[in-house]
Amino acid sequence: MSTLSRDEVARVAVLARIDLTPAELDRLAGELDVIVESVARVSEVATPDVPATSHPLPLSNVFRADEPVPPLDRDEVLAQAPAARDGKFLVPQILGEE
């Protein structure tokens, strides 16, 4: 049985640059210890004949095939824009620069 000490939690918090109060350190030490024990129990059950999985349900790629298509016509696209100038979209100035 592994027991995470408050000092170990504090060390990890410093490495992660997380500022924890003493009460949070005490609470997290207990919570993280439960997690470590749960992982250890799962590791005991895992056997070589059971393949490792990253998800309980089988997943498949839902993306369409990446096939080249002709680009959109620039003049047609700019004709639908609220404003255009010199073949580019014209947008309101936001930074106050000239």
Look-up of token digits 């027991």:
3
pTM of the model: 0.46
What structural domains and CATH numbers belong to the chain? Answer: 6-45 (1.10.20)
pLDDT given at position 10: 94
pLDDT tens over the chain, length 98 residues: 457 889 999 999 999 999 999 999 999 999 998 999 988 888 787 777 877 777 888 888 888 888 999 999 999 999 999 999 999 999 988 887 66
Q: Would you state the pLDDT for residue 98?
A: 62
Asked whether the beta carbons of 44 and 37 are under 8 A apart, the reply is no
Could you say which DSSP state residue 84 is in?
E
Q: What does the pLDDT read at residue 57?
A: 84
Q: Which residues of 52-86 are buried (b: 16+ CB within 10 A; e: fewer)?
A: eeeeeeeeeeeeeeeeeeeeeeeeeebeeeeebee
Report H helices in 1-98.
6-15, 22-45, 74-79
Q: CB-hemisphere CA count at 13 Å for 95?
A: 2
